[in-house]
Structure 1
């Protein structure tokens, strides 16, 4: 695990709370642990982790399953991931992993702390997991390197939506519920995507 001074220095340089850097760091190791599973990273976290370095921070890890998953398989996968991360880099997660059903799939929750006293309570990471029968992945999934601006790079990869599919879902989201972060993401991605590929799938995305 990286030293406390590295986390604090990164927080100072980024202008964010120490807990934000702790979460960002832990997310990367969790992605490394989950990278072999048949599910694709998406959303704002996907943009930051594998497409645009130093992008905005995001609290959750969002995935769409590429194969059917049973509830027990999800719980087991997350449990194995947090134990692997502890063995590899020393981040200790709480044993109690929350898992609830949602309209679109599942939400798993795990908690951890790296720096003692850095938060009044353990830091939370949510996994939003979308069933493949609810959200169809329409464009080819790409396996991409995980950006890890820390000194203990796990040099891992993770399956991810292409930027055009992320963009299409962001556009859909503003018709469902306007959130500033989605508008920001659309603005940032506008010159990075092939607009014809976005438009080709947008209608089908909006029917999901």
Structure 2
């Protein structure tokens, strides 16, 4: 009975903390649960030396979990690799172990891991995993998050080992290797250019609304902490590795790209408290990027026409 009461009290406490986060942010319950689960998956990865040393955390979730804390929510974890990284069945086995560690360490939360069922083989041999969690009030493993491991990606800057930020009244005492924020910015710029290329070649592509939001938010709020002088060369090298190029800041604001920003609220409302106006974001982001890429630097040409135009 004492054990039952202890488990019950822990479940009530955790549910209250998640409810408090939902109330303070206005974000949906499912997204908050996913955010909680993502942190514990990171914790499990951080406890396995082979994964911690070879998987390098990146992307928008890394901005929230290792840099800024108060940031947009996410539903997946993205990694690049370095060194003698595990792959195939070896990587799956380690991811399962990471979930076992999370199960042993979290408050009555259980985790499972299996391969994500891709519709077709990824062109760059990316590996993906479907991780599911059963929180104390769940009857089954209802909360699902995705882990993606990119094996064909150059890492240009030495990763930083940073503390994993957790906002639910639990002290994790865990850290993980993560991209420097400048490299995250460079990859987001390249992702937009790759999206533009797909639009021209295929007429479709996955929306990059979140990349525009991330670039704006980072540069607006944390610009003073970033080595912006390094960005032109970083972007050039990142783009060359994927056969795209930034000729001008205007490449990021082509008409076809802007048409896809009509989905602004659809992509951001579920994960961003107080979604900013699209036109304001685009105007301010363009101004910030012109400041960074304002001269002929490492092959990036800047056309000052329409600076600040939305």
Shared fold per TM-score greater than 0.5: yes
**Total equivalences in the alignment:** 204
Stretches of structure 2 that go unaligned for 5 or more consecutive residues are: 1-9, 196-206, 242-310
1:116 positional shift: 3.2
Q: Does residue 75 of structure 2 align to residue 64 of structure 1?
A: no
Partner of 1:167: 185
Instruction: Give, in whole Å, the separation in 1 of the partners of 2:138 and 2:110.
Output: 15
Instruction: Give, in whole Å, the separation in 2 of the partners of 1:17 and 1:113.
Output: 18
Change (3 A) 1:111 1:71: same
By percentage of residues, which structure has more strand? Answer: 1
Please show how residues 69-148 of structure 1 align to structure 2 within 5 Å. 69-89=86-106, 90-94=108-112, 97-99=114-116, 102-104=122-124, 105-114=126-135, 116=137, 122-131=142-151, 134-148=152-166
Match of 1:30 among 10, 18, 41: 41
What TM-score comes out, normalization by structure 2 length? 0.62
Q: Which has more radius of gyration?
A: 2
Q: Which has the higher contact order (CA 8 A, sep 6+)?
A: 1
Cα RMSD (Å)? 2.0
1:102 positional shift: 2.4
Instruction: Give, in whole Å, the separation in 2 of the partners of 1:98 and 1:39.
Output: 17
Deviations 1:115-158 (A, max 9, x none): 5369x971211111010xx1010001000011111112212101
What TM-score comes out, normalization by structure 1 length? 0.90
Partner of 1:202: 235
Stretches of structure 1 that go unaligned for 5 or more consecutive residues are: none
Q: 4+ residue runs of structure 1 moved beyond 4 angstroms? A: none
Instruction: Give, in whole Å, the separation in 2 of the partners of 1:189 and 1:33.
Output: 28
By percentage of residues, which structure has more helix? Answer: 2
